[in-house]
Structure 1
Amino acid sequence: METLFDQYKELNINGSLICLEQVEDIYSYFCYPTNAKAIGFEGSIMYCFIEPYGEMVFACNPDTCADVFVYPLARTFEDFMRLILACGSTNPIEQIIWMDKDKFEKHLKEEEAIRTEEQKTTLSYLETELEISPIDNPYDYVKELQSRFDNSGIEYSDEYYDVLGIDRK
């Protein structure tokens, strides 16, 4: 059975327009989980699925502003795409981890002001082709998911523990 992620990949869009670029040669940062499957990148930030969390979408950010490097963004890939439609790209979604609602709303307005016609066209195309609509209240959705998240299923390399100077679990 074809998933929405499969349908998205078949669209073959320029993912950089929504900060979800496909990368051939992946540089593996210390914080990228060993049980992650990359779905796209925004610079060094990897968006991925992680076993055993199924279709949940995560951000893995080696330059995080929060106290964690890996955190959930959406319960499913469909919700992730709906968040992108609501926010214009992955960028505002990924930053919710450290922002309060006022900062997030301000950031969304700034992002919208610089959105190109090509980006708008891509978002409209995704909405039509994937038959989805923007999610309501993206900030509240992500914050609620992150507040209840159990990260015990994330597996890290020895390098992660060495870089952070913590004992391996």
Structure 2
Amino acid sequence: MIQQYKIIEKYLKLNIDGSRVGLERGESKSNYFCTPKGAKVIGWAGVDGIHYCFVRGFGEMVFAVSPMNTPGNYVHPVARDFMDFLQLLLACGDAAVLEQVYCWDQAQFDAFLQDNPLTGEQQAVLDAIREKLLLAPMEQPFAYIKELQAEFDYSRIKYTEDYYEWVPVEPKIPEWKVYFDGNFWGHHGRERAGKEIFLDRQFVWDDEVWHIPAIYTCSKGLVVDFCIQVPAERIRSFMDKWNLSIENDGTDFTDEQRMQIDAENPLAININPKVVLNGTVLSGSHGCGVSWNPCFPEGNGLEVKSVTQHYGLDPAYGWAIWRS
């Protein structure tokens, strides 16, 4: 941490106008309800209360805090340390880009940079950082931040009592168990949970990447989970075509339009797999599905969060998941 403090001190001694790149100087403490406990603010965006900070217990990691975001998305790590933070800033031109990466895919990230070229004032600030601190722009900034956020355990962040008055405590993901007569939402009866057999198989079918992470042996038969990987760009294109969002779920469409939407939905899945065991064909008796939408992570239910967490599915992709 000593080395990082030296970098911060050198940065502060540059006496540059960080507000030009979304890193305005200000109070080192924040009174916002969603600022983590033990936070030390290192810069402010100047809009919507957005600020960047270190958090006690997380070493040199830099976090973005956005009070106007939706519940569950107020705080995100954006850099492993302050040096990386400055290199990301050099690559992206404005700290606001780093704060927004959590809800963007690669295409949106690239489009924003292309549509928002640097001003002369921004370039002057970035040039000073690069030349005086001898830093180079971060290579692959989008991938860097996405990887950091995918690996981070958000449950470790602690908040003040004010936070929990605003945001109810999220229900915990239940212990992972799979039943033959159950589904993603639970089960009935006194059946024992199946035994998980790890497979981690992957194949391409009809230009789609399929994963079979595991099967489960139960007293009444086998249970198989199929996970289809869907690019976020494809989901975004589908949603834009039909103007779908959390607020607009399609209830105002005609029956014909809803049928067309269901047919085009890249996250829709309904399959009837068969297993050949020693020459005998075993057909599925029932099935159920859930999906993960990376374009609106706050809208995903606890059930699909449990699946993606258990199997380690990349949350930057969409996932159509079928249990049979």
With the length of structure 2 as denominator, give the TM-score of the two structures: 0.49
Taking the aligned partners of 1:136 and 1:65, their CA distance within structure 2 comes to 30
CA contact (8 A) 1:65 1:98 kept: no
Question: Which structure would you say has the larger RCO, counting Cα contacts within 8 Å and 6 or more residues apart?
Answer: 1
Instruction: Please show how residues 1-169 of structure 1 align to structure 2 within 5 Å.
Output: 3-24=6-27, 28-42=31-45, 43=47, 44-64=49-69, 67-112=72-117, 115-166=118-169
Q: How big is the alpha-carbon RMSD for the aligned residues of Structure 1 and Structure 2?
A: 1.9
Question: Relative to 1, partners in 2 of residues 1:145 and 1:35: Cα closer, same or farther, differing over 3 Å?
Answer: same
Q: Highest CA radius of gyration, 1 or 2? A: 2
Of the structure 1 ranges 144-153 and 24-33, higher mean CA displacement relative to structure 2 is found in 24-33
Aligned-residue offset at 1:65: 5.3
- List alignment gaps of at least 5 residues for structure 1: none
Aligned-residue offset at 1:5: 1.1
Taking the aligned partners of 1:155 and 1:100, their CA distance within structure 2 comes to 28
Q: Secondary structure at the match of 2:52?
A: strand
Of the structure 1 ranges 102-111 and 62-71, higher mean CA displacement relative to structure 2 is found in 62-71
Corresponding letter in the other structure for 2:43:
G
**CA displacement, residues 8-46 of structure 1 (integer Å, 9 cap, x when unaligned):** 111111110110001248652110112110000112111
Taking the aligned partners of 1:22 and 1:135, their CA distance within structure 2 comes to 23
Aligned-residue offset at 1:79: 0.4
Corresponding letter in the other structure for 1:46:
H
1 or 2, which has the higher strand percentage?
A: 2
CA contact (8 A) 1:32 1:60 kept: yes
1 or 2, which has the higher helix percentage?
A: 1
Corresponding letter in the other structure for 2:129:
L
Taking the aligned partners of 2:13 and 2:50, their CA distance within structure 1 comes to 23
With the length of structure 1 as denominator, give the TM-score of the two structures: 0.91
CA contact (8 A) 1:66 1:97 kept: no
Question: Relative to 1, partners in 2 of residues 1:109 and 1:20: Cα closer, same or farther, differing over 3 Å?
Answer: same
